[in-house]
Amino acid sequence: MVWRLRALLDTNIVVWALSAPDRLSEAQRDVLLDPRHDLAISSVSVAEISIKTSIGKLTGVEGITEWIARQGFRELPLANRHAIELADLPLHHRDPFDRMLVAQCIADDLVLITSDRRLNAYAIETIT
C-alpha cells in the first residue's frame, strides 16, 4: 500500500517554498517533493499573500498563481462548510487567516503543513 497524505499548506509554507525553500523543515520538504501526496493551497493563503504584498509587508512572491499551477497543488476555495467551522473554533489563535485554514483542515480532514506551533493547540494534525 502506498501512503498518501492529504494536506493543506499554511501561508508561510507557500511563501517559503516559493522564495526561501531552505527555511522548510526536512519533513516539510519531503512531503512537498513527494508526488503521491494530495497537497492543497487555500484561496485564503493566496488572499493573505496578495494583501500583504499590496501593503508592502511581503516581497519575493511574484508569479504565485503560476508557481502553484506548475507545482500541481490543488486549489481549495473557502466554502460555506469551512466558514461554519469558524463558529465553534476555540480562540487559541487570533489570526483570522490561520483560523480559516484550521477550519478548512477540520471540515475536510486535512493535515496542516505549518511552521506555527501555536496551531498545534487545535484538534488537527500538523507537520512542522
CATH code, domain carrying 23: 3.40.50.1010
Residue 65: predicted pLDDT: 85
pLDDT digits (tens, 9 = 90+) for 25-73: 999 999 999 999 999 999 999 999 999 999 999 988 888 888 888 999 9
Give the pLDDT band (50/70/90) at residue 2. low
Model pTM? 0.93
Residue 35 forms part of a structural domain:
yes
- What's the Cα-to-Cα distance from 98 to each of 24, 36, 37, 78, 117, rounded to whole Å? 18, 26, 22, 12, 12
Residue 1 within a domain: no
Shortest CA distance to 95 belongs to which of 114, 79, 111? 114
Is position 122 within any domain? yes
* Separation CA 57–CA 116 (nearest Å): 18
Q: Tell me, yes or no, whether 82 lies in a domain.
A: yes
Which residues span the domain enclosing 102?
Answer: 6-127
Q: Is the dihedral of CA 110, 111, 112, 113 positive or negative?
A: negative
Residue 67 lies in a domain: yes
Provide mean pLDDT across the span 2-16: 91
How many distinct structural domains can be found in the chain?
1
Q: What is the pLDDT of residues 94-109, one digit of tens each?
A: 999 999 999 999 999 9
E runs forming strands in 1-128? 6-9, 38-42, 74-76, 111-113, 126-127
